[in-house]
Structure 1
C-alpha cells in the first residue's frame, strides 16, 4: 500500500477545504449573498479558482493513485506535492488577476501529465509481467 501518496491525498483534500473557506470569506467580503456566485469580479475569480480545483481533482487523484500503486509511491507523492503547489500558485494568481493564474496552471497540469504517464507506464509494466 502506498504510504506517501496517502498523506499527499489528505493534504490535497485539506487544501481543497481551505479553498472552500476562502470562498465563504469572499462571499461576505464582497457582499455576494448566497446562493449567488456572480456579481463581483474579485469574488468570481476566487470562486472560479475553487471550482476549477474541484474540476481537476479526478484528473489528479486517479493518475496519482495508479502511479503510486503500479510504478512508484515516492515519485507519485512528489508529483502530488508539485500539483498542490501549482494549485496554490494558481489560486494566489487567479485571486489577483485572470492572467496571473497561468504559471500555477502550467505547473499543476504538467504534474498531472507526468502522473498520467507514470500511471500508464506502471500499468503497462504490471500488465506485461502478469
Structure 2
C-alpha cells in the first residue's frame, strides 16, 4: 500500500503544481479574480486545473479500492499511468486544446482499469 500512498501524494503534488501554474497565468495575463476568462493562456491553464480536479474525484477513490480489493501494485501502476496521461493532456492542451485527446484517453483508460479491477476484487470477496 506504500506505493499507492506515494502515487496519491504524487498526484496531489501534480495537481498543486497545475493550480500554481494557473495562478501564475492569472497574474501574468492580468485576469482579475473572480474572472475566469479574458486571456486564452489563462483559460487553458484554468481548464487543465479544473479538468484534473474533476478526474481526480474518480482516480483517487478508484485507486484505493483497487489497491485494497485487487492489488496495490496494479493500482499504483494505473495511478502512474493516469498521472502521465495528465501530463500529456496538459502539454497538449496548453499548445492546442484540440490536441488533448491522447492525454485524455491515457487517463480515461487508467480510470476504467482502476474501476474495473476494484469492482472485480470487491465482487470476488462477496
SS in 1 for 2:18: helix
Please state how far the C-alpha of 1:125 moved relative to its aligned partner: 1.3
Work out the number of aligned pairs and report it.
126
C-alpha RMSD over aligned residues: 0.8
The residue aligned with 1:63 is 62
| Aligned counterpart, 1:92 | 91
Q: 2:19 and 2:67 mapped to 1: Cα distance?
A: 27
Structure 1 unaligned spans of 5+? none
Give 1:30 shift.
Answer: 1.4
Deviations 1:28-71 (A, max 9, x none): 22121122110012211110010010111111111100000000
Secondary structure (helix, strand or coil) at the match of 2:35 reads coil
Q: How does 1:102-117 map to 2 (within 5 A)?
A: 102-117=101-116
Report the TM-score, using the length of structure 2 for normalisation: 0.97
* SS of corresponding position for 1:35: coil
TM-score by length of 1: 0.94
- Looking at structure 1, the residues matched to 57 and 65 of structure 2 have their Cα atoms a distance apart, in angstroms, of 12
The runs of 4+ residues in structure 1 deviating greater than 4 Å are none
Tell me the equivalent position of 2:31: 32
Q: Secondary structure at the match of 2:77?
A: helix
